Structure 1
């Protein structure tokens, strides 16, 4: 007994002792009870799962004196002959088809099959490795398998049932065997070790089950090898790992901790320990992939150990739970994918150590890749590391602050009554997306558009965004009341420190930015210079306005955003976020404008939505009794048609004319009647510029006096 291998010593003798094959043993037992036994059976499945053993048990059940029965008595001559260590029966013939699969062997079997059994009920042929029988041999057996004598039974066992010809397979009852589940096999091995009276440390049986890969015979052979080399303290975990070639758990823990901490030095030190310790790099990568698989499951199912999803001791499961808690789900999934790809690449590699180090480098450096998995892994690391130093919870973009209303701290000396300044409205909540809200006229702070740039109430802004807006009602208070208001106003709170680069003016620097982009990538420069302009800036985010959606999509689809960021970083050492928007009214063009937009109809600052409307100008005064025309801006008299409506102030002041004699006041030339709009013209644009203003603004000219033959110069 002691010389027999474990798989022979503990071979099952009844269907009840067969483990992991209840889907086969239960129907066979019921068929024996019902006495509905077929003349031919086909048992198929992986190696070591019980095909030949079940065939012997079926033969024992059929030839038992109390049979056919699913529970052989074990006392009759047939049961003793077919027992675990019995001599065998002359009526149960086992044939190895690997060496007896030819047509001559099949003919010999067919001739002997018609002779009746010597002492049993049935004559049974067990043909092992049936897929090795040739087609001619199967054809020679076809007739006897199809119509056998009453005393004849056939049991074919094979690992490749598809190689058995269809005419034979169709005449049998096919029972597919399966691999034994790990939990069932682990419990069975524990029972065998208990019967052998050998102590086994925790963690050894999972290694044996893993080495057996679901095969009972292979697992029993591995267990037999460990029991043979066990000392006084039994089978230890260190002995099992070294003998079976598995990676020690401490190495796996070290490399997983290095991945979680992003510690490259620790990871490559583990690689050196693996190589110097004589471990197989491919086996180490396979074990690491198995550990990452367990961590992925634990991250998704915290109680996976209790549910049996992970086959490991309790202390190992607890240690893996701690490791899974410091990883993100995306980072774990990415690491497992990279290790799996590296394991495939290591097949046939000339330098396994180099492949192993490359795998570790890829896992440790998600920033080196721009795929979705790397981005998600970087987000997981940022979430684990928490907010950056100096960050404030709930921090948003800065809003346009409105000064608090002036309040006198105490009784003030009597002053002449002055019109009270308009109260500044409370600052509005930021618009969706975090951009500062616009302030209304007279708020004491410049109005802000959705782009975030201060603007005047009626005109376009200059390059730096500091253009003075038209005075509101609050700014029209008498001059003698202003000192008192300034004296009573409390000190404004100190603003928070601006982010780096917030003091730069992208609008003024836009030509330099375009020049830097041009040196980097000419396509990006053409796209920005012809179709884009600065639309807004809040200190951290630069908003670029495009003339249409197509230009914006071309900018976003390519690598243009990275080129612009690189230009900003290399030229101005700033790391601004880029936001591309459609600003069809802002117009393209990359440089600073040569002249400001018309008042009331343009965009202040850096484009975006129109600014808040300017206060309505006061109506033009009535003509003097002498009939002298009202003076226009710059000292010139306005034409009669222009006096019928209020003329907006020009965005650029007209140059002062040369002094003229008082007797002959100068006036601008009068446009022909066909060019002047009628007073009742429905298409009249109130904000349009007069001819004089257009000449001054567009051409930069100075209008000289006009002479005619009938009048003196005027």
Structure 2
């Protein structure tokens, strides 16, 4: 059985943890200086490297050359605590989701007093620490406050506010973050190259969007695509069908029709969407993402080079053209309408009908008296006047310019 990508490419040292330099660099510096704390709190969204970093910390502490931010990888401790190693009796990993009660905490406390069997430190990694009950935290409080010299606690959680404040105040807190799209893309390209699989460039933005900034979720999505890849590799069409995302061509058709005020083309695109079996709510979410990209492209001409917008070169050209035909007030109103419509579509029995109503609202700025609608109508008038008026020629006579009379 082949290992999942997120397990096969799990980092073995802090230098291999991507997108968390604000955590790994201070930790590495502390290890180099020998400033070891007795308790750490790693918090952040799921799949961003908290538990992997906790294992790396245990490996770094118990390396024969340690404490060091760069474990040697060959000593008995490093081999045992490697990502696919058999484990070490002195490093205990607990899942608080199933072992968060007071009895479990008392058992952990009693075990923690014993000296390590073969390592420098005994390390207890408590995953999902927010699931430990208040009574369980109270049972651990004394040993976390005054632990033996050989003991290190690492609490990993997605909800640090639920960790007992008295426990949290005695830890070094390191907040992990979601990984930026550019970093994730570089990671995906490297892994796909190592796997020897061809992936069309347009696939990467789909995978990154599906992963939501989580390295583990992103690699799981890519793993699924690689498993179903044919001789030609991972194609955009296969990825689009498997992930359930909307075809970019459909989104282009709707945006172009909205820019032209062509209601018939908008509703024909919605009909093609439903006939192809796509989810109207997913289409609305993808359309909102496109509107966001258009606003950024319009406000920041270098949005693509700065990593603010992730798109292929041909798609970026289309977005630049669309942004030129839609003003900022129009895009802002469209975004507000689609965002509100996504909430209305949650659990709706007639999602197609709601999607068509959203399109009707976008097509009729005069149907609302809100500030956004008025701004869009003014923007259209200004655009129409700018197109109709011809700029004055460079050789125009001075006498032809309007004369202004100073009021007396």
TM range (shorter): over 0.9
Change (3 A) 1:392 1:326: closer
Distance in 1 of aligned mates of 2:318 and 2:230: 28
Aligned to 1:78: 77
Task: Using the TM superposition, give the Cα deviation of residue 275 of structure 1 relative to its aligned residue in structure 2, in angstroms.
Answer: 1.2
Which consecutive unaligned segments of at least 5 residues does structure 1 have?
A: 395-428, 433-714
Q: Per-residue displacement from partner, 1:366-385 (whole Å, max 9, x unpaired)?
A: 22233332233223333444
Aligned to 2:115: 116
**1:54 maps onto 2:53 in alignment:** yes
Aligned to 2:191: 192
Distance in 1 of aligned mates of 2:367 and 2:130: 52
Change (3 A) 1:206 1:392: closer
Aligned to 1:317: 316
Task: Using the TM superposition, give the Cα deviation of residue 387 of structure 1 relative to its aligned residue in structure 2, in angstroms.
Answer: 7.5
Change (3 A) 1:155 1:378: same
Distance in 2 of aligned mates of 1:90 and 1:369: 68
Task: Using the TM superposition, give the Cα deviation of residue 113 of structure 1 relative to its aligned residue in structure 2, in angstroms.
Answer: 1.4
Aligned to 2:334: 335
Q: Per-residue displacement from partner, 1:4-48 (whole Å, max 9, x unpaired)?
A: 100000000000000111111111111111111011111111100
Distance in 2 of aligned mates of 1:387 and 1:67: 70
Task: Using the TM superposition, give the Cα deviation of residue 308 of structure 1 relative to its aligned residue in structure 2, in angstroms.
Answer: 1.7
Bigger Rg, which one: 1
Aligned to 2:23: 24
Q: Per-residue displacement from partner, 1:191-230 (whole Å, max 9, x unpaired)?
A: 0000001011121111111111110000010000000000
Distance in 2 of aligned mates of 1:281 and 1:385: 33
Task: Using the TM superposition, give the Cα deviation of residue 279 of structure 1 relative to its aligned residue in structure 2, in angstroms.
Answer: 0.8
Aligned to 1:443: none
Please list every run of at least 4 consecutive aligned residues from structure 1 whose deviation after the TM superposition is greater than 4 angstroms.
386-389, 391-394, 429-432
Q: Secondary structure at the match of 2:229?
A: coil
Distance in 1 of aligned mates of 2:124 and 2:387: 77
Q: Secondary structure at the match of 1:292?
A: helix
For normalisation by structure 2, the TM-score amounts to 0.93
Distance in 2 of aligned mates of 1:132 and 1:393: 68
Task: Using the TM superposition, give the Cα deviation of residue 350 of structure 1 relative to its aligned residue in structure 2, in angstroms.
Answer: 2.5
Which consecutive unaligned segments of at least 5 residues does structure 2 have?
A: 393-402
Q: Secondary structure at the match of 2:230?
A: coil
Aligned to 2:399: none
> Any residues of structure 2 matched to 1:117-516 within 5 Å, and which?
117-386=116-385
How big is the alpha-carbon RMSD for the aligned residues of Structure 1 and Structure 2?
1.9
Change (3 A) 1:368 1:33: same
The answer to whether the 8 A contact 1:326-1:384 is kept is: no
Q: Per-residue displacement from partner, 1:334-367 (whole Å, max 9, x unpaired)?
A: 2222222222222232311111111111111122
Task: Using the TM superposition, give the Cα deviation of residue 164 of structure 1 relative to its aligned residue in structure 2, in angstroms.
Answer: 1.1
For normalisation by structure 1, the TM-score amounts to 0.54
Aligned to 2:44: 45
The answer to whether the 8 A contact 1:43-1:174 is kept is: yes
Distance in 1 of aligned mates of 2:179 and 2:165: 28
Structure having the higher helix fraction is: 2
Aligned to 2:400: none
Task: Using the TM superposition, give the Cα deviation of residue 386 of structure 1 relative to its aligned residue in structure 2, in angstroms.
Answer: 4.5
Q: Secondary structure at the match of 2:67?
A: coil
**Length, aligned pairs only:** 396
Task: Using the TM superposition, give the Cα deviation of residue 161 of structure 1 relative to its aligned residue in structure 2, in angstroms.
Answer: 1.0
Distance in 1 of aligned mates of 2:346 and 2:201: 32
Distance in 1 of aligned mates of 2:336 and 2:97: 42
Task: Using the TM superposition, give the Cα deviation of residue 116 of structure 1 relative to its aligned residue in structure 2, in angstroms.
Answer: 1.1
Q: Secondary structure at the match of 2:206?
A: helix
Distance in 2 of aligned mates of 1:340 and 1:132: 33
Change (3 A) 1:387 1:115: closer
> Any residues of structure 2 matched to 1:590-605 within 5 Å, and which?
none
Task: Using the TM superposition, give the Cα deviation of residue 160 of structure 1 relative to its aligned residue in structure 2, in angstroms.
Answer: 1.0
Q: Secondary structure at the match of 1:73?
A: coil
Distance in 2 of aligned mates of 1:121 and 1:252: 58
Q: Secondary structure at the match of 1:307?
A: coil
Distance in 1 of aligned mates of 2:158 and 2:71: 27
Distance in 2 of aligned mates of 1:125 and 1:61: 14
